[in-house]
Amino acid sequence: MKIRAVVRGVGHYLPERVVENAEFEATLDTTDDWIRARTGIERRHFAAEGETTSQLAIKAAQAALIDAGMAADQIDAIVVATSTPDLTFPSVATMVQAGLGTTSGFAYDIQAVCAGFVFALTNANGLIVSGQAERVLVIGAETFSRIMDWEDRGTCVLFGDGAGALILEAANGSGTNEDRGVLSTDLHSDGRYRELLFVDGGVSSNGKAGHLRMQGNAVFKHAVQKLAETAHTALGKIGMSGEDVNWIVPHQANLRIISATAERMQVPMERVVVTVQDHGNTSAASIPLALSVGKQRGQIKTGDIVVTEAIGGGLAWGAVVLRW
Ligand code: UT7
């Protein structure tokens, strides 16, 4: 017998405003063709003025609760992955707790940038397996449009806003790969690479929110190598390989990274959930958004083996294998 963290519900929310690639042509030396060809992105959503990360997170959480058929007060813990919180503190997670109208359990944020959801999911699994919580709401929510330098064509066309949420519940498993729930996790970070992807502002440095700065090409090379490696490691820990995977649900940063990783894992693109064309890179929100859309599309079904993998600022990266 082994306690497993099983997915009971999933949901997402995207802000109303959709921005097509062509809109950037008016203000930047860029084209729809370049953005599509180099990234796979066609459009993204941007939060409205005054619309905050916690508001997106609450809507995604409500959708996940409906999907799970649960009430907010059944949740023991809320873990939010974000790098774009409403305020320096309190956490977005506590704002979600209040927004859902519950005082049960505990709530906190995790910050691992684009890898945030993989870190939060691993953390939530730990809460359940160690008996500290029975039902955990795990959210990835971001408003990266707030930290864009609108004059930097190398970054501002890449990112979007949104939120996705997953509800995990403790269940008794047999301890084999036949169990539903989280089966394996693998996390890494290497702080020597902070200059490759960072925000040039913060509370204890200059007191500003700052703008995202990225050496895209260098991050690209790390991504292609490290994502396949961590996915292989996570699968290998439970004696699985690419062949056993029904769906890769990758961090949605760049279609070329997504397909190169799938190729290295020897998984055909027909078994990869791709949403980057419609969402852009929504950082910690991209995987739960893709899980929710993948389920809505009828791609991800109960019993499927799903591998999520992500890399982002830090660098921080990792993978989670679960049976849906
Ligand atoms: O989520 C966190 C992880 N982040 C990522 O995974 C992002 C990883 N990186 C990437 O996705 C890609 O590196 C980018 C999409 C950011 C850039 O693509 P690239 O193929 O690596 O291009 P590059 O940075 O090597 O730039 C090639 C050229 C440059 O021009 P020159 O120097 O060759 O004249 C850029 O200035 O493309 C230019 N360029 C653009 N041109 C038109 C950069 N951005 C744009 C743009 N429109 N928006």
Answer yes or no: is the C-beta of 108 below 6 A from any ligand 1 atom.
no
Answer yes or no: is the C-beta of 310 below 6 A from any ligand 1 atom.
no
pLDDT band, residue 211 (cuts 50/70/90): very high
What pLDDT, on a 0 to 100 scale, did the predictor assign at position 267? 97
Domain edge (last residue) among 139, 173, 207: 173
> Do 57 and 164 share a domain, yes or no?
yes
What pLDDT, on a 0 to 100 scale, did the predictor assign at position 49? 97
- As a whole-number percent, the residues of the chain with pLDDT over 90 amount to 99
What pLDDT, on a 0 to 100 scale, did the predictor assign at position 33? 98
Question: For the chain, what is the domain count?
Answer: 2
Q: Which CATH number goes with the domain that contains 254?
A: 3.40.47.10
Answer yes or no: is the C-beta of 267 below 6 A from any ligand 1 atom.
no
Mean pLDDT throughout 198-213? Answer: 97
Answer yes or no: is the C-beta of 257 below 6 A from any ligand 1 atom.
yes
> Do 192 and 169 share a domain, yes or no?
no
156 carries an active-site annotation: no
Which of 21, 33, 38, 225 most suits a substitution to test ligand 1, by most atoms within 8 Å of the C-beta?
Answer: 38
What pLDDT, on a 0 to 100 scale, did the predictor assign at position 201? 97
Answer yes or no: is the C-beta of 154 below 6 A from any ligand 1 atom.
yes
Spacing, Cα 186 to ligand 1 middle (Å): 28
pLDDT band, residue 215 (cuts 50/70/90): very high
> Do 243 and 288 share a domain, yes or no?
yes
Mean pLDDT throughout 10-26? Answer: 98
Spacing, Cα 216 to ligand 1 middle (Å): 6
What pLDDT, on a 0 to 100 scale, did the predictor assign at position 321? 98
Spacing, Cα 260 to ligand 1 middle (Å): 16
> Do 156 and 205 share a domain, yes or no?
no
Domain edge (last residue) among 126, 142, 173: 173
- Phi then psi dihedrals of residue 155, to 5 deg: -130, -40
- Which tens digit of pLDDT belongs to each residue from 55-109? 999 999 999 999 999 999 999 999 999 999 999 999 999 999 999 999 999 999 9
Answer yes or no: is the C-beta of 38 below 6 A from any ligand 1 atom.
yes
What pLDDT, on a 0 to 100 scale, did the predictor assign at position 172? 97
- As a whole-number percent, the residues of the chain with pLDDT over 70 amount to 100
Q: What is the pTM of this model?
A: 0.97
Give the closest residue (by CA) to ligand 1 atom 20.
38
Domain edge (last residue) among 173, 198, 213: 173
What pLDDT, on a 0 to 100 scale, did the predictor assign at position 82? 98
> Do 148 and 207 share a domain, yes or no?
no
What pLDDT, on a 0 to 100 scale, did the predictor assign at position 157? 98
> Do 10 and 139 share a domain, yes or no?
yes
251 carries an active-site annotation: yes
Answer yes or no: is the C-beta of 316 below 6 A from any ligand 1 atom.
no
Spacing, Cα 11 to ligand 1 middle (Å): 31
> Do 211 and 71 share a domain, yes or no?
no
pLDDT band, residue 229 (cuts 50/70/90): very high
> Do 248 and 123 share a domain, yes or no?
no
Spacing, Cα 323 to ligand 1 middle (Å): 35
> Do 77 and 11 share a domain, yes or no?
yes
Domain coverage including residue 11 = 2-173
pLDDT band, residue 139 (cuts 50/70/90): very high
> Do 115 and 243 share a domain, yes or no?
no
188 carries an active-site annotation: no
Which of 193, 214, 217 most suits a substitution to test ligand 1, by most atoms within 8 Å of the C-beta?
Answer: 217
> Do 109 and 231 share a domain, yes or no?
no
Spacing, Cα 34 to ligand 1 middle (Å): 9
Of 1, 5, 8, the closest CA to residue 128 belongs to 5
Give the closest residue (by CA) to ligand 1 atom 25.
217
> Do 11 and 67 share a domain, yes or no?
yes
Answer yes or no: is the C-beta of 284 below 6 A from any ligand 1 atom.
no
